[in-house]
Protein backbone atom coordinates (compact mmCIF):
# COMPACT_ATOMS: atom_id res chain seq x y z
CA UNK A 1 0.00 0.00 0.00
CA UNK A 2 1.26 3.49 -0.86
CA UNK A 3 1.86 5.75 2.10
CA UNK A 4 -0.44 8.70 2.63
CA UNK A 5 1.30 11.95 1.74
CA UNK A 6 0.47 14.46 4.44
CA UNK A 7 0.88 18.24 4.47
CA UNK A 8 0.90 20.55 7.47
CA UNK A 9 -0.13 24.21 7.28
CA UNK A 10 0.92 26.25 10.31
CA UNK A 11 4.08 24.69 11.71
CA UNK A 12 3.87 26.03 15.28
CA UNK A 13 3.52 24.34 18.65
CA UNK A 14 0.65 21.91 18.12
CA UNK A 15 2.03 20.77 14.74
CA UNK A 16 5.51 19.99 16.02
CA UNK A 17 4.60 18.76 19.50
CA UNK A 18 1.66 16.53 18.60
CA UNK A 19 0.65 15.99 14.97
CA UNK A 20 4.02 15.55 13.27
CA UNK A 21 5.33 13.16 15.98
CA UNK A 22 2.04 11.23 15.65
CA UNK A 23 2.65 10.96 11.89
CA UNK A 24 6.18 9.76 12.56
CA UNK A 25 4.91 7.03 14.84
CA UNK A 26 2.61 5.90 11.99
CA UNK A 27 5.42 5.96 9.42
CA UNK A 28 4.32 2.68 7.87
CA UNK A 29 1.07 4.33 6.78
CA UNK A 30 1.89 8.00 6.25
CA UNK A 31 4.69 10.49 5.73
CA UNK A 32 5.08 14.20 6.25
CA UNK A 33 5.50 15.34 2.68
CA UNK A 34 5.04 19.13 2.65
CA UNK A 35 4.77 22.07 5.03
CA UNK A 36 3.65 25.67 4.65
CA UNK A 37 3.63 28.59 7.08
CA UNK A 38 3.41 32.36 6.65
CA UNK A 39 6.69 32.29 8.56
CA UNK A 40 8.70 30.54 5.86
CA UNK A 41 11.87 30.15 7.88
CA UNK A 42 9.86 28.37 10.58
CA UNK A 43 8.43 26.02 7.94
CA UNK A 44 11.91 25.36 6.52
CA UNK A 45 13.25 24.58 9.99
CA UNK A 46 10.39 22.16 10.66
CA UNK A 47 10.88 20.49 7.26
CA UNK A 48 14.56 20.04 8.05
CA UNK A 49 13.91 18.67 11.55
CA UNK A 50 11.18 16.24 10.56
CA UNK A 51 12.29 15.35 7.03
CA UNK A 52 9.52 16.89 4.89
CA UNK A 53 10.46 16.94 1.20
CA UNK A 54 8.70 20.20 0.31
CA UNK A 55 8.48 23.67 1.84
CA UNK A 56 5.64 25.40 0.00
CA UNK A 57 5.09 29.09 -0.64
CA UNK A 58 1.31 28.82 -0.77
CA UNK A 59 -1.42 26.47 0.47
CA UNK A 60 -2.40 25.81 -3.18
CA UNK A 61 1.10 24.53 -3.94
CA UNK A 62 0.89 22.21 -0.93
CA UNK A 63 -2.58 20.89 -1.84
CA UNK A 64 -1.20 19.74 -5.22
CA UNK A 65 1.40 17.57 -3.45
CA UNK A 66 -0.57 15.80 -0.72
CA UNK A 67 -3.49 13.43 -0.06
CA UNK A 68 -4.39 14.99 3.28
CA UNK A 69 -3.56 18.13 5.22
CA UNK A 70 -3.44 19.06 8.90
CA UNK A 71 -4.48 22.67 9.49
CA UNK A 72 -2.67 24.13 12.52
CA UNK A 73 -2.98 27.87 11.96
CA UNK A 74 -4.74 30.41 14.19
CA UNK A 75 -8.52 29.86 14.21
CA UNK A 76 -9.30 32.65 11.72
CA UNK A 77 -7.80 30.62 8.87
CA UNK A 78 -9.31 27.19 9.67
CA UNK A 79 -12.37 27.59 7.44
CA UNK A 80 -10.81 29.12 4.33
CA UNK A 81 -7.88 26.67 4.29
CA UNK A 82 -10.07 23.61 5.00
CA UNK A 83 -12.56 24.55 2.29
CA UNK A 84 -9.83 25.16 -0.29
CA UNK A 85 -8.23 21.81 0.57
CA UNK A 86 -11.52 19.92 0.37
CA UNK A 87 -12.41 21.58 -2.95
CA UNK A 88 -9.09 20.33 -4.30
CA UNK A 89 -9.87 16.78 -3.18
CA UNK A 90 -7.61 16.80 -0.11
CA UNK A 91 -8.78 15.23 3.17
CA UNK A 92 -8.54 17.56 6.20
CA UNK A 93 -7.70 17.19 9.86
CA UNK A 94 -8.34 20.68 11.22
CA UNK A 95 -7.32 21.87 14.66
CA UNK A 96 -10.00 22.91 17.12
CA UNK A 97 -12.10 24.97 17.34
CA UNK A 98 -13.61 24.00 14.00
CA UNK A 99 -14.03 27.65 12.99
CA UNK A 100 -14.63 31.19 14.21
CA UNK A 101 -18.43 30.76 14.04
CA UNK A 102 -21.22 28.43 12.93
CA UNK A 103 -21.49 29.92 9.42
CA UNK A 104 -17.88 29.07 8.66
CA UNK A 105 -18.27 25.64 10.26
CA UNK A 106 -21.37 24.91 8.18
CA UNK A 107 -19.51 25.88 4.99
CA UNK A 108 -16.66 23.50 5.94
CA UNK A 109 -19.08 20.63 6.49
CA UNK A 110 -20.77 21.32 3.15
CA UNK A 111 -17.41 21.39 1.33
CA UNK A 112 -16.51 17.98 2.81
CA UNK A 113 -19.86 16.52 1.76
CA UNK A 114 -19.78 18.02 -1.75
CA UNK A 115 -16.28 16.70 -2.38
CA UNK A 116 -16.78 13.38 -0.61
CA UNK A 117 -13.71 13.98 1.54
CA UNK A 118 -13.00 13.45 5.26
CA UNK A 119 -13.13 16.51 7.48
CA UNK A 120 -11.97 15.67 11.01
CA UNK A 121 -11.65 18.16 13.86
CA UNK A 122 -8.93 17.66 16.47
CA UNK A 123 -11.12 17.29 19.55
CA UNK A 124 -8.56 14.90 21.00
CA UNK A 125 -10.15 14.43 24.43
CA UNK A 126 -12.40 11.89 22.70
CA UNK A 127 -9.26 9.85 22.00
CA UNK A 128 -8.07 9.72 25.63
CA UNK A 129 -8.48 6.37 27.37
CA UNK A 130 -10.91 8.01 29.81
CA UNK A 131 -12.99 9.46 26.97
CA UNK A 132 -13.10 6.11 25.16
CA UNK A 133 -14.00 4.29 28.38
CA UNK A 134 -16.76 6.78 29.22
CA UNK A 135 -18.22 6.40 25.73
CA UNK A 136 -18.30 2.61 26.07
CA UNK A 137 -19.97 2.87 29.47
CA UNK A 138 -22.64 5.33 28.37
CA UNK A 139 -23.36 3.46 25.14
CA UNK A 140 -23.77 0.24 27.12
CA UNK A 141 -26.47 2.00 29.17
CA UNK A 142 -24.60 1.59 32.47
CA UNK A 143 -25.78 4.99 33.75
CA UNK A 144 -29.43 4.40 32.86
CA UNK A 145 -31.21 7.47 31.61
CA UNK A 146 -28.72 10.39 31.73
CA UNK A 147 -30.13 13.50 33.38
CA UNK A 148 -27.47 15.99 34.28
CA UNK A 149 -24.00 16.80 32.98
CA UNK A 150 -21.36 19.06 34.46
CA UNK A 151 -18.34 20.30 32.56
CA UNK A 152 -15.37 21.90 34.28
CA UNK A 153 -12.41 23.01 32.19
CA UNK A 154 -10.53 24.93 34.84
CA UNK A 155 -6.95 26.04 34.58
CA UNK A 156 -5.34 27.84 37.51
CA UNK A 157 -2.97 30.38 35.90
CA UNK A 158 -2.50 29.33 32.29
CA UNK A 159 -3.29 32.09 29.84
CA UNK A 160 -1.28 31.01 26.75
CA UNK A 161 1.34 33.76 26.59
CA UNK A 162 2.67 32.74 23.16
CA UNK A 163 1.20 33.05 19.65
CA UNK A 164 -2.08 34.92 19.17
CA UNK A 165 -4.30 33.28 21.79
CA UNK A 166 -5.42 36.58 23.35
CA UNK A 167 -6.19 38.21 19.97
CA UNK A 168 -9.95 38.19 19.34
CA UNK A 169 -9.62 39.03 15.65
CA UNK A 170 -7.46 35.95 14.98
CA UNK A 171 -8.90 33.48 17.52
CA UNK A 172 -12.54 34.53 17.94
CA UNK A 173 -12.45 34.27 21.74
CA UNK A 174 -10.39 33.03 24.68
CA UNK A 175 -10.81 30.29 27.28
CA UNK A 176 -14.12 29.07 25.84
CA UNK A 177 -13.24 28.74 22.17
CA UNK A 178 -9.71 27.56 22.99
CA UNK A 179 -10.07 25.15 25.91
CA UNK A 180 -13.68 24.89 27.08
CA UNK A 181 -14.60 23.69 23.58
CA UNK A 182 -12.72 20.40 24.16
CA UNK A 183 -14.71 19.42 27.23
CA UNK A 184 -17.98 20.70 25.79
CA UNK A 185 -17.32 18.49 22.77
CA UNK A 186 -16.52 15.48 24.96
CA UNK A 187 -19.68 15.93 27.02
CA UNK A 188 -21.95 16.20 23.97
CA UNK A 189 -20.39 13.08 22.46
CA UNK A 190 -20.91 11.12 25.68
CA UNK A 191 -24.51 12.30 25.88
CA UNK A 192 -25.21 11.13 22.31
CA UNK A 193 -25.11 14.58 20.67
CA UNK A 194 -28.43 15.85 22.13
CA UNK A 195 -30.17 18.81 20.52
CA UNK A 196 -29.69 22.03 22.52
CA UNK A 197 -32.72 24.30 22.91
CA UNK A 198 -31.52 27.10 25.16
CA UNK A 199 -28.15 28.49 26.24
CA UNK A 200 -27.39 31.05 28.95
CA UNK A 201 -23.85 32.23 29.61
CA UNK A 202 -21.68 34.90 31.13
CA UNK A 203 -18.12 35.66 30.07
CA UNK A 204 -15.45 37.47 32.10
CA UNK A 205 -11.95 38.82 31.65
CA UNK A 206 -11.58 41.09 34.66
CA UNK A 207 -8.83 39.00 36.19
CA UNK A 208 -6.56 39.02 33.12
CA UNK A 209 -7.18 42.73 32.55
CA UNK A 210 -5.89 43.48 36.03
CA UNK A 211 -2.13 44.20 36.11
CA UNK A 212 0.34 42.04 38.01
CA UNK A 213 -1.28 38.62 37.57
CA UNK A 214 0.66 35.41 38.17
CA UNK A 215 0.71 33.33 34.96
CA UNK A 216 2.36 29.92 34.53
CA UNK A 217 2.30 29.96 30.69
CA UNK A 218 4.37 33.03 29.87
CA UNK A 219 3.71 36.74 29.82
CA UNK A 220 0.75 38.51 28.22
CA UNK A 221 -0.24 42.14 28.06
CA UNK A 222 -3.17 42.82 30.40
CA UNK A 223 -3.95 46.09 28.58
CA UNK A 224 -4.53 44.43 25.19
CA UNK A 225 -6.19 41.32 26.64
CA UNK A 226 -9.51 41.31 24.79
CA UNK A 227 -10.89 37.77 25.08
CA UNK A 228 -12.68 35.81 27.84
CA UNK A 229 -10.65 34.15 30.57
CA UNK A 230 -13.62 32.67 32.47
CA UNK A 231 -17.04 31.52 31.25
CA UNK A 232 -20.06 30.02 32.97
CA UNK A 233 -23.06 28.57 31.16
CA UNK A 234 -26.23 26.55 31.51
CA UNK A 235 -27.59 24.56 28.56
CA UNK A 236 -30.97 22.87 28.25
CA UNK A 237 -31.54 20.11 25.70
CA UNK A 238 -34.68 18.97 23.89
CA UNK A 239 -34.60 15.54 25.58
CA UNK A 240 -34.73 17.08 29.09
CA UNK A 241 -31.00 16.89 29.83
CA UNK A 242 -29.25 19.88 31.33
CA UNK A 243 -25.57 20.80 31.34
CA UNK A 244 -23.71 23.12 33.69
CA UNK A 245 -20.52 24.47 32.17
CA UNK A 246 -17.57 26.42 33.50
CA UNK A 247 -14.20 27.05 31.92
CA UNK A 248 -11.27 29.22 32.83
CA UNK A 249 -7.74 29.96 31.71
CA UNK A 250 -6.92 31.68 34.93
CA UNK A 251 -8.97 30.84 38.00
CA UNK A 252 -8.17 31.52 41.64
CA UNK A 253 -8.10 27.84 42.56
CA UNK A 254 -5.53 25.50 44.09
CA UNK A 255 -4.85 23.50 40.92
CA UNK A 256 -6.16 22.78 37.42
CA UNK A 257 -9.36 20.76 37.30
CA UNK A 258 -10.67 19.23 34.08
CA UNK A 259 -13.74 17.06 34.24
CA UNK A 260 -16.94 15.94 32.60
CA UNK A 261 -19.43 14.41 35.03
CA UNK A 262 -22.61 12.65 34.00
CA UNK A 263 -25.36 11.65 36.36
CA UNK A 264 -28.04 9.16 35.36
CA UNK A 265 -30.78 7.15 37.02
CA UNK A 266 -28.60 4.04 37.51
CA UNK A 267 -25.15 5.53 37.85
CA UNK A 268 -22.79 8.43 37.52
CA UNK A 269 -19.31 8.91 36.16
CA UNK A 270 -16.65 11.52 35.83
CA UNK A 271 -13.56 11.54 33.67
CA UNK A 272 -10.03 12.79 34.60
CA UNK A 273 -9.68 10.79 36.77
CA UNK A 274 -12.21 8.22 35.62
CA UNK A 275 -14.62 7.33 38.42
CA UNK A 276 -17.92 5.54 38.21
CA UNK A 277 -20.59 4.89 40.81
CA UNK A 278 -23.61 2.63 40.37
CA UNK A 279 -26.67 1.70 42.36
CA UNK A 280 -26.81 -2.06 43.00
CA UNK A 281 -28.34 -4.24 45.70
CA UNK A 282 -29.56 -1.21 47.62
CA UNK A 283 -26.17 0.50 47.84
CA UNK A 284 -24.00 2.88 45.83
CA UNK A 285 -20.99 0.96 44.52
CA UNK A 286 -17.63 2.32 43.47
CA UNK A 287 -17.30 0.80 39.98
CA UNK A 288 -14.19 2.70 38.89
CA UNK A 289 -11.59 1.08 36.63
CA UNK A 290 -7.88 1.16 37.45
CA UNK A 291 -6.21 2.99 34.57
CA UNK A 292 -2.53 3.66 34.03
CA UNK A 293 -1.60 7.19 33.09
CA UNK A 294 -1.03 7.64 29.36
CA UNK A 295 1.24 10.05 27.53
CA UNK A 296 -0.30 12.82 25.38
CA UNK A 297 1.64 11.36 22.43
CA UNK A 298 -0.41 8.15 22.66
CA UNK A 299 -3.61 10.19 22.37
CA UNK A 300 -2.27 12.17 19.40
CA UNK A 301 -1.32 8.95 17.62
CA UNK A 302 -4.76 7.45 18.24
CA UNK A 303 -6.35 10.57 16.76
CA UNK A 304 -4.09 10.48 13.69
CA UNK A 305 -4.63 6.76 13.21
CA UNK A 306 -8.40 7.23 13.21
CA UNK A 307 -8.08 10.11 10.71
CA UNK A 308 -5.96 8.02 8.31
CA UNK A 309 -8.18 4.96 8.69
CA UNK A 310 -11.24 7.12 7.96
CA UNK A 311 -9.59 8.52 4.83
CA UNK A 312 -9.05 4.97 3.57
CA UNK A 313 -12.57 3.90 4.56
CA UNK A 314 -11.37 1.35 7.15
CA UNK A 315 -12.86 3.05 10.21
CA UNK A 316 -15.66 5.41 11.12
CA UNK A 317 -14.42 8.91 11.86
CA UNK A 318 -14.62 9.53 15.63
CA UNK A 319 -15.16 13.32 15.45
CA UNK A 320 -17.76 13.99 12.76
CA UNK A 321 -17.95 17.48 11.24
CA UNK A 322 -21.65 17.66 12.10
CA UNK A 323 -20.83 17.12 15.80
CA UNK A 324 -18.06 19.73 15.79
CA UNK A 325 -20.50 22.10 14.10
CA UNK A 326 -22.91 21.64 17.01
CA UNK A 327 -20.13 22.53 19.47
CA UNK A 328 -19.54 25.71 17.45
CA UNK A 329 -23.27 26.54 17.46
CA UNK A 330 -23.34 26.28 21.25
CA UNK A 331 -20.19 28.38 21.63
CA UNK A 332 -21.74 31.07 19.40
CA UNK A 333 -24.87 30.98 21.57
CA UNK A 334 -22.78 31.31 24.76
CA UNK A 335 -21.02 34.40 23.42
CA UNK A 336 -24.32 35.84 22.18
CA UNK A 337 -26.02 35.20 25.53
CA UNK A 338 -23.22 36.97 27.38
CA UNK A 339 -23.30 39.92 24.95
CA UNK A 340 -27.07 40.36 25.15
CA UNK A 341 -27.59 39.39 28.79
CA UNK A 342 -30.34 36.97 27.73
CA UNK A 343 -30.79 33.24 27.19
CA UNK A 344 -30.43 32.27 23.52
CA UNK A 345 -33.02 29.94 22.04
CA UNK A 346 -31.61 27.59 19.43
CA UNK A 347 -34.03 26.70 16.71
CA UNK A 348 -33.64 24.71 13.58
CA UNK A 349 -34.14 26.75 10.40
CA UNK A 350 -37.34 24.91 9.45
CA UNK A 351 -38.80 25.83 12.88
CA UNK A 352 -37.91 29.50 12.32
CA UNK A 353 -39.70 29.84 8.97
Ligand X SMILES: NC(=O)c1ccc[n+]([C@@H]2O[C@H](COP(=O)([O-])OP(=O)(O)OC[C@H]3O[C@@H](n4cnc5c(N)ncnc54)[C@H](O)[C@@H]3O)[C@@H](O)[C@H]2O)c1
Name the residue number minimizing CB distance to ligand X: 12
Binding ligand X (rule: CB under 6 A), the pick from 77, 237, 274, 335 is 77
Q: For residue 83, which of 61, 63, 53, 57 has the smallest C-alpha distance?
A: 63
Binding ligand X (rule: CB under 6 A), the pick from 3, 163, 279, 336 is 163
Q: Is the peptide bond before 248 cis (omega within 30 degrees of 0)?
A: no
The reply on whether position 21 binds ligand X by CB under 6 A is: no
Q: Is the peptide bond before 97 cis (omega within 30 degrees of 0)?
A: yes
CA distances (Å), 321 to each of 18, 89, 128, 302, 316, in order?
Answer: 21, 17, 19, 18, 12
Count the site residues for ligand X by CB under 6 A: 23
Sheet hosting strand 54-55, strand order edge to edge: 54-55, 30-36, 4-9, 68-71, 91-94, 119-121
The reply on whether position 12 binds ligand X by CB under 6 A is: yes
The reply on whether position 42 binds ligand X by CB under 6 A is: yes
Can you say how many angstroms the Cα of residue 28 is from the centroid of all Cα atoms in its chain? Answer: 27
Residues 220-239 as x/- pattern, contact with ligand X by CB under 6 A = --------------------
Binding ligand X (rule: CB under 6 A), the pick from 11, 187, 250, 337 is 11
Concatenated DSSP letters for 67-124? SEEEE-S-GGGHHHHHHHHHHTT-EEEEPSSS-SSHHHHHHHHHHHHHHT--EEE--G
- Residue 135 Cβ, how far from ligand X at the closest point, in Å? 18
Binding positions for ligand X, 109-128, rule CB under 6 A: 122, 124
d(CA 278, CA 264): 9
Stretch that binds ligand X, among 36-44, 100-108, 278-286, 334-342 (CB under 6 A): 36-44
- Residue 9 Cβ, how far from ligand X at the closest point, in Å? 5
Binding ligand X (rule: CB under 6 A), the pick from 19, 30, 70, 74 is 74
The reply on whether position 172 binds ligand X by CB under 6 A is: no
Nearer to ligand X, 170 or 197 (CB): 170
- Residue 105 Cβ, how far from ligand X at the closest point, in Å? 13
The reply on whether position 130 binds ligand X by CB under 6 A is: no
- Residue 97 Cβ, how far from ligand X at the closest point, in Å? 7
Concatenated DSSP letters for 258-280? EEEEEEESSEEEETTTTEEEEEE
The reply on whether position 73 binds ligand X by CB under 6 A is: yes
Residues 204-223 as x/- pattern, contact with ligand X by CB under 6 A = --------------------
CA atoms within 13 A on the CB side of 153: 26
- Residue 267 Cβ, how far from ligand X at the closest point, in Å? 29
Q: For residue 134, which of 267, 295, 265, 248 has the smallest C-alpha distance?
A: 267
If you ran DSSP here, which 8-state letter would residue 219 be given?
-
d(CA 318, CA 305): 11
Binding ligand X (rule: CB under 6 A), the pick from 66, 68, 75, 305 is 75
Stretch that binds ligand X, among 74-82, 197-205, 241-249, 339-347 (CB under 6 A): 74-82
The reply on whether position 9 binds ligand X by CB under 6 A is: yes
Q: Which residues bind ligand X (CB under 6 A)?
A: 9-15, 36-39, 42, 72-75, 77, 95-96, 122, 124, 163, 178
Amino acid sequence: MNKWKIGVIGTGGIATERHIPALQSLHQKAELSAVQDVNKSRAAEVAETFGAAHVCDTPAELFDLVDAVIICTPNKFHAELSIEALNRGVHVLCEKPMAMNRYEAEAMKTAAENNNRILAIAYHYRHTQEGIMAKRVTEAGELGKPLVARVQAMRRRKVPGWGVFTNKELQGGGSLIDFGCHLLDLSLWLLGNPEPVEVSAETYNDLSRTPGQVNDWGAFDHETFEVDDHVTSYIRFKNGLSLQFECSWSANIKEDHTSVSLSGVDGGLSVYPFEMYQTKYGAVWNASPVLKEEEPSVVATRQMDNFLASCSGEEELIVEASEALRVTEIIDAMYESSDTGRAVTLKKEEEES
